[in-house]
Amino acid sequence: MSKFWSSLVSQLKPYVPGEQPKMERLVKLNTNENPYGPSPRVLEAIRAQLDERLRLYPDPESEQLCSVIATCYGVSPEQVFVGNGSDEVLAHIFQGLLKQDRPILFPDITYSFYPVYCGLYGVESQLVPLTGDFEIDPQDYLVPNGGIIFPNPNAPTGRALPLVEVERIVAGNPDSVVVVDEAYVDFGAESAVTLVDRYPNLLVSQTLSKARSLAGLRVGLAIGHRDLVEALNRVKNSFNSYPLDRLAQAGAVAAFEDEAWFNETRQRVMDERARVTLAMTAMGFEVLPSSANFIFARHASQKGADLALRLRERGIIVRHFDKPRIDDFLRITIGTAEQNDELLQALKGLVN
């Protein structure tokens, strides 16, 4: 390694993102995108921005978007923070709120960006093992800590904690910031946003990449006590402002204004999830109960890595993690009915 690399950079272990292959005609079920596409109103709103106003900087505070989100969730606009995807929102959270004297807690099997941010921002962490059923046990989070973060539903397991259990963690840690990463919450879990006015230590992050089908637009948000949001704005404004661009702001506003599209498409994903789960269970898979737009499943006799490889040979890409305890599992995004049929057909040929 070159002597010019600082010791910090040479020690970083960057996140390895899910593959975004360029080939056409792939059944792409590896990065939990929404198969149905965004609301037509989003496309219209973005097109309406395509004029000479692009020469102007966007609103650095994303005021209109924050107030639409606030109305949607019944909070005040000062309780809403937005960023370029929830990954950026989480980056600000790690940097600004989770660097404390004690290690932060998160599950040992979870979103693999958390350890990356810890490395980047010098945040100490302590991993909390999931239970034998791959669940988060709230009791394990009632110990001294410098902060807590977990996804609900968890990724890549898809398992969700009921709101009362989330509340146990939040209420049991009044001196720590508790971050609930709700990237997948709209597919059947209960949101902790309803708790933010009672718990000043709670911050909930969400994304428009999944249920609102806008992964390509990069919009994420956090909702919490106004002091926590003010802290995030300070971090954001310490980097040359980092606003959402004009198209992202306009598109995101339109996405929140089309509740009918949001509800219809997420219901379709949930219906398809139930169908795929039943069919795979009948083929000998154990499918963990999922509240997300993906399922996490292992076969009784086939290795996860082999199955992933053989699906790929048939043009179907799913996610496999080469990690202890979960290396027999596949994480499969719920696609359109046609994509799911192709998946089920291929699996039938492979496991029989």
Q: Which range, of 49-57, 83-91, 244-252, 328-336, touches ligand PMP by CB under 6 A?
A: 83-91
Q: Report the alpha-carbon distance of residue 114 to residue 121 in Å, rounded.
A: 11
Q: Per rule CB under 6 A, is residue 155 in the interface with ligand PMP?
A: yes
For strands 220-224 and 202-207, give the pairing.
antiparallel
Residue from the set 165, 167, 181, 186 that interacts with ligand PMP by CB under 6 A = 181
**Closest to ligand PMP by CB, 87 or 186:** 87
The residues, ordered by sequence, that sit 6+ positions from 263 with a Cβ below 8 Å of its Cβ are none
The size of the interface with ligand PMP (CB under 6 A), counted in residues, is: 12
Residue from the set 77, 151, 158, 335 that interacts with ligand PMP by CB under 6 A = 151
For strands 220-224 and 148-151, give the pairing.
unpaired
Q: Per rule CB under 6 A, is residue 111 in the interface with ligand PMP?
A: yes
Nearest to 295 by CA among 280, 282, 312: 280
Q: Per rule CB under 6 A, is residue 136 in the interface with ligand PMP?
A: no
Q: Per rule CB under 6 A, is residue 107 in the interface with ligand PMP?
A: no
342, containing H or E segment: helix 337-351
Residue from the set 30, 157, 207, 340 that interacts with ligand PMP by CB under 6 A = 207
Q: Which of residues 211-230 bind ligand PMP (CB under 6 A)?
A: 215, 220
Question: Minimum distance between the CB of residue 237 and ligand PMP, rounded to whole angstroms?
Answer: 20
- Name the phi and psi angles at 126, rounded to 5: -130, 125
Q: Which range, of 7-15, 63-71, 79-87, 187-195, touches ligand PMP by CB under 6 A?
A: 79-87
Q: Report the alpha-carbon distance of residue 159 to residue 5 in Å, rounded.
A: 40
Using a 10 angstrom Cβ sphere, with 0-12 exposed, 13-18 middle and 19 or more buried, the burial of residue 16 is exposed
Q: Per rule CB under 6 A, is residue 291 in the interface with ligand PMP?
A: no
Q: Report the alpha-carbon distance of residue 198 to residue 304 in Å, rounded.
A: 43
Q: Per rule CB under 6 A, is residue 249 in the interface with ligand PMP?
A: no
Could you list the residues that contact ligand PMP (CB under 6 A)? 85-87, 111, 151, 155, 181, 183, 207, 209, 215, 220
